[in-house]
Amino acid sequence: MEKLENGGKEYIVAANWKMNMSAKAIKSFLEEMNQVEIPKHLRTIIFPPYPYLNIFQKMLRYSRITYGAQDIAKEEKGAYTGEVSADMLIDMGCSYTLTGHSERRSYYAETPEIVAEKTRAAIMHSLTPVICIGETLEQRQSGRYKEILKAQLDAVEASVRESMGVCMIAYEPVWAIGTGVIPKISEIRDTHKFIHEVLISYGGTYRKTVPILYGGSVSEKNVREIASVKYVNGFLIGGASLNAERFKTIIKLLSVD
């Protein structure tokens, strides 16, 4: 097994359940997870669909597993049918929210500015935003992908400025999400290094500490190798996080140095 590259630093293992699972399935998933000893250097975050947040609130009271929402309203409150505000997420015990997942950007037309506003709303309420960025296959092949990633980050930075330091970034190449295809390790290394440099370029040494997660077809087969890459500080996992056995295996693989 490759040696993990984080020099004893924390790893983040985040599960994005998207529009999956049921109350029954979640209860048994969390019962199983509550038996697992999560090592100190791992931070586990689950992002379930909104209606199930109350199950997390009840079942994870004494757990090291934390949770958050998959999305957040940019508005504070009022006539916004279907939206869920930061205050409501806090009420449900959330500590985190995703912003700018590529499915939100592409299916729900979330522009970089909307993502920035949502990220800002989260920060104002002390929720930690996990800002998802990523390029399409076409953008990767055109060689313009770094420009795209930087523009996605710049839009958020322009809105939150200093508070960028309290965010997490999830780099998820759109072409790797749910496809079983992952970038070459050298590509992940290069892109994470680039993101790190963009964060540094905003100024302020604390930006060195913003965790950069990798997402897109992460599984028990590749997690260890990707974890050994410099500037990979954790994972945002979709499909492989829906099954407690698989998720536990991933946690176990990241538990040994």
What amino acid positions are annotated as catalytic residues?
101, 172
Residue 16 binds ligand PGA, judged by CB under 6 A = yes
Among all residues, whose Cβ is closest to ligand PGA? 238
Bridge partner residues of 91 (DSSP): none
Which of 49, 93, 165, 239 is the binder for ligand PGA (CB under 6 A)? 239
Q: Residue 6: which residues within 8 A CB-CB, separation 6 or more?
A: 41, 227, 233
Q: How far is the CB of 205 from ligand PGA (least distance, A)?
A: 29
Q: Which stretch binds ligand PGA (CB under 6 A): 30-38, 48-56, 121-129, 215-223?
A: 215-223
Nearest to residue 180, comparing CAs of 239, 131, 227, 231? Answer: 239
User: Quick one: which of 110, 117, 135, 172 contacts ligand PGA (CB under 6 A)?
Assistant: 172
State the DSSP H helix or E strand holding residue 44, giving kind and residue range, or none if neither.
strand 42-47
Q: How far is the CB of 239 from ligand PGA (least distance, A)?
A: 3
Neighbours of 228 (CB within 10 A): 16
218 binds ligand PGA, rule: CB under 6 A? yes
Choose, by CB under 6 A, the member of 236, 250, 251, 254 that binds ligand PGA: 236
How far CA 110 is from CA of 42, 132, 207, in Å, comes to 31, 12, 25
Nearer to ligand PGA, 43 or 207 (CB): 43
For the chain, the residue count is: 257
Each as own residue / partner, the long-range contacts of residues 238-241 (CB below 8 Å, 24 or more positions apart, any chain) are: 238/15, 238/16, 238/17, 238/18, 238/177, 238/178, 239/178, 241/15, 241/16, 241/17, 241/46
- Using CB under 6 A as the binding rule, whether residue 178 contacts ligand PGA is answered as yes
Choosing from 89, 215, 247, 251, the residue that interacts with ligand PGA (CB under 6 A) is: 215
Asked if 135 touches ligand PGA (CB under 6 A), the answer is no
Q: Give whichever of 207 and 229 is closer to ligand PGA, judged by the CB atom.
A: 229
Contact 232, 214 (CB under 8 A): yes
Nearer to ligand PGA, 212 or 236 (CB): 236
Q: Judged by CB, which is closer to ligand PGA: 69, or 207? A: 69
Question: What is d(CA 70, CA 104) in angstroms, rounded to the nearest whole number?
Answer: 10
Give whichever of 110 and 172 is closer to ligand PGA, judged by the CB atom.
172
Residues near ligand PGA (CB under 6 A) are 16, 172, 177-178, 215-218, 236-240
